[in-house]
Structure 1
Amino acid sequence: MKQKNHILPIIILSQFACTSPWFAGNAIIDELTVKTGLGIEIMAYVLASVQLGFISGTLVFALFMIADRFSPSVVFMICAILAALCNLSLLSEHIGKWSLLLARFGTGFFLAGIYPVGMKIAADYYEKGLGKALGYLVGALVLGTAFPYLINGTAFGRNPDMVIKITTGFTIMGGLLMVVLVPNGPFRRPSTKLQLQSGPKLFKIVNFRKAAFGYFGHMWELYAFWAFTPLAIQTFNTLTGNTLEVFLWTGIIIMLGGISCALGGILSIRFGSYTVAFVALLASGFLCLVSPVLFSSYPVVFLGVWYVWGMAVTADSPQFSNLVASSAPAELKGTGLTLVNCIGFAITIGSIQLLSFLSNEISPEYIFMVLAIGPLFGVWQLSSRKTD
């Protein structure tokens, strides 16, 4: 069935716009530190609260099969507006520790109706070539994640409020574009009743389980890598006497991951999602293990390898989503994607908190080695059974 040419670009644009609040709090961390009186621990708290909100949201969405029972475009739009309002609350002059964490929790909760639901919408339109479509879609998520850092690295970033205002406006725009221009897809198979046992049912499917476990290994590394890249650049500057701009280079490193998602999607057409995911996991796991030597290298070497790492750490994400979606029954694709996202993001809490603890106990250049646990586990899962 021939699709309208505007569908995928609109989904991509909406996904980019609506995921921009994800790291908005981290991009203005200095201002939030002043407002709340928190110390260096605020970085882990701010991101962990978003992740916890996302986990809670995906659990609710999966349990009640929201994306499979209701129009996913409408769900996407409603969640975009609510996430935007939570994001906007960061502008309050009287924001404290708990109101900050609640605002970030709310943002994460409603992002659960954006990221996995966006993938569900794509799956409703692309029965074939889903790996390529999801490559572009997750690439948009990664670009949205990098966007606040990129704003902060420009003249706009001199006013931290602009980061929040721009990301909030983008989120509302993305939600409206989705509901107006992307109707329910031709391959959508809505569920007519609630199936509370759908989660255990899905994990009994071998291919689904292997793809999910591989994704969990990938998630152990991904968000901790993103969250602590600013610390890595700061540590490199301290050890070598360089003055690399932290937020600008962090934004660029994360942004390159968006490009690698799209590239991985294209490569999946020829080599398959399994191969792309396997190679990306292997590469990022290797870089975890050798990361300490980068902190005594030249700036061009440090940034160059961190660029490659930033691409490898994300290239497998959409391919795991394709493997998950492809192995789930049509009427449970949305639930399967949401459930796997829920568990995957729960895992990120552990790795983020572990790196936060280790950064205070050992020299920061060694903390990234523990992230290798995830890719190695993912490679083991993919090696035990090919899921393409």
Structure 2
Amino acid sequence: MRPVPLIVLAQLLGTSLWFSANGVGDALMRDWDLLPADIGTLTAAVQLGFIVGTLLFAVSGVADRFAASRVFLVSAITGATANLALAWLAQDMTTAAVYRFLTGFALAGIYPVGMKLVVSWAPERRGEALAWLVGMLTLGTATPHLLQGLSLGLAWPWAVTFASLLAVTGGGLVAWLGDGPHLARSSTLQWGGAFRAFARPGFRAAALGYFGHMWELYAFWVLVPLFVGALYPQAPSGVVALLAFSVIGLGAVGCVLAGRLSRTLGSARVAVIALGISGTLCLVYPWLTGVSAGLALAALLVWGVVVIADSAQFSALASAHAPPEGVASALAIMNSIGFGLSALAIPLTTALWQDMGAGVSWLLLPGAVLGLLAMRPLLARGHAQIPENS
């Protein structure tokens, strides 16, 4: 098989771990007597684990010192094991949060390492290749909702278990493929080297834009089932899960389209367009819910397309402007900070959901505004295109 499609498929399978608890959120709330804020706490635990993992990878330089394909495999197995523990061992919020944290820690060796692997096989078209990769991350994120919607009455641990099996399969595919021929490896562990990437203006602008994007992205994904459930309060939980899958899963289409457009418009322009549209939807969505459920659902579907479409373009810009021998570490530290912001946005919005309802989307708007402001230097200086020699 061609390397990029194989890595993209592995990313889909590996990241199915991410929202396992959210995909079965209705069943968890029923079985454990939880509130929506508790599901937000479990998601924040995953984000926190990912933050700690990416920070450790970035500061130590592990992802640039050892074979990326082997790091991916070990991380997939570790994450799958922690996910299985959620399904069959957890009995309360405390143990569930611990297993979710461990899953997030393992995902630090899947997502940013997967980006490095794609660049190592196709550096000349990183914007489009990374768009496919993030598209599969999006489908992987949505997969637990699909598994729960199609579970046919099976208990929720089986949907979580299947996600673990998918992750192990993805790790095996990457281990079989190995690293790409354009992969720069560091001969030693470079402690703290990742932070030096921020001295580069291009990397700094892309990273700050990404941070604004991340304030919105994962909080929106967590809120999607709540948004849909509020629009259709009488719908069966399986229907709500399938609609949530559709909203989140359509982001894969947005990623692919953004990757195509980046070849002509440039990654910076595409990222700004997508972030501008999603920011507009943050602002207007609460008003749309008062017009009709159908119109609000249509807005959610569009929002699902654009909210993730800019992500790969931020990563492409950052990887192009990062030190060549420290790409994985630079992307890892960028991911760590970005997910740290998402870990703040998720509990904030879910805790205020019962009081504000759809109005919580207004809390996501500052991320889009600040992200757009941060990207101005890349556009103004003519860096909308990826440098040819990257």
- TM-score band (shorter)? over 0.9
Measure, in 1, the Cα distance between the counterparts of 2:228 and 2:145.
14
Seen in structure 2, the aligned counterparts of structure 1 residues 331 and 31 have a Cα distance that, compared at 3 Å, is same
Give the 3-state SS of the residue equivalent to 2:35 in structure 1. coil
The answer to whether the 8 Å contact 2:13/2:166 transfers is yes
Q: Does 1:281 align with 2:275?
A: yes
Equivalent residue runs for 1:118-157 within 5 Å: 118-156=114-152
Measure, in 1, the Cα distance between the counterparts of 2:26 and 2:299.
27
Q: Does 1:187 align with 2:187?
A: no
Name 1:267's counterpart in structure 2: 261
TM-fit CA distance, 1:67: 1.3
- Alignment match of 1:209 (pick from 183, 204, 213): 204
The answer to whether the 8 Å contact 2:194/2:326 transfers is no
The answer to whether the 8 Å contact 1:156/1:162 transfers is no
Seen in structure 2, the aligned counterparts of structure 1 residues 203 and 165 have a Cα distance that, compared at 3 Å, is same
- Alignment match of 1:258 (pick from 252, 259, 263): 252
Q: Does 1:66 align with 2:62?
A: yes
Measure, in 2, the Cα distance between the counterparts of 1:158 and 1:183.
37
The answer to whether the 8 Å contact 1:119/1:137 transfers is yes
- Alignment match of 2:315 (pick from 318, 321, 340): 321
The answer to whether the 8 Å contact 2:58/2:192 transfers is no
The answer to whether the 8 Å contact 1:156/1:163 transfers is no
The answer to whether the 8 Å contact 1:83/1:107 transfers is yes
Aligned-pair identity (%): 38
Q: Does 1:162 align with 2:158?
A: yes
The answer to whether the 8 Å contact 1:267/1:276 transfers is yes
Give the 3-state SS of the residue equivalent to 2:178 in structure 1. coil
Gaps of 5+ in 2: 385-390
Name 1:342's counterpart in structure 2: 336
The answer to whether the 8 Å contact 2:289/2:295 transfers is no
Equivalent residue runs for 1:304-315 within 5 Å: 304-315=298-309
**Which letter maps to 1:276?**
V
**Which letter maps to 1:141?**
L
TM-score (norm 2): 0.93
**What are the superposed Cα offsets for residues 312-367 of structure 1, whole Å, 9 maximum, x if unpaired?**
1010000000000000111010111111000000000111122123224x330211
- Alignment match of 1:54 (pick from 36, 50, 56): 50
Give the 3-state SS of the residue equivalent to 1:129 in structure 2. helix
Instruction: Report how many residues are paired.
Output: 380
**Which letter maps to 1:230?**
P
Name 1:222's counterpart in structure 2: 217
TM-fit CA distance, 1:178: 0.6
Give the 3-state SS of the residue equivalent to 1:56 in structure 2. helix
Give the 3-state SS of the residue equivalent to 2:29 in structure 1. helix
Q: Does 1:380 align with 2:373?
A: yes
Name 1:234's counterpart in structure 2: 229
TM-fit CA distance, 1:243: 7.1
TM-score (norm 1): 0.94
TM-fit CA distance, 1:37: 4.5
Give the 3-state SS of the residue equivalent to 1:19 in structure 2. helix
Gaps of 5+ in 1: none
Give the 3-state SS of the residue equivalent to 1:185 in structure 2. coil
**Which letter maps to 2:251?**
G
Give the 3-state SS of the residue equivalent to 1:81 in structure 2. helix
The answer to whether the 8 Å contact 2:212/2:371 transfers is yes
Measure, in 2, the Cα distance between the counterparts of 1:141 and 1:130.
16
TM-fit CA distance, 1:158: 4.1
Name 1:301's counterpart in structure 2: 295
The answer to whether the 8 Å contact 2:37/2:351 transfers is no
TM-fit CA distance, 1:292: 1.0
TM-fit CA distance, 1:212: 0.1
**Which letter maps to 1:54?**
F
**Which letter maps to 2:267?**
S
Seen in structure 2, the aligned counterparts of structure 1 residues 168 and 58 have a Cα distance that, compared at 3 Å, is same
Q: Does 1:200 align with 2:195?
A: yes
Name 2:387's counterpart in structure 1: none
The answer to whether the 8 Å contact 1:294/1:302 transfers is yes
Q: Does 1:371 align with 2:364?
A: yes
Seen in structure 2, the aligned counterparts of structure 1 residues 30 and 304 have a Cα distance that, compared at 3 Å, is closer
Runs of 4+ in 1 over 6 A off after TM superposition: 241-244
TM-fit CA distance, 1:29: 2.1
The answer to whether the 8 Å contact 1:35/1:95 transfers is no
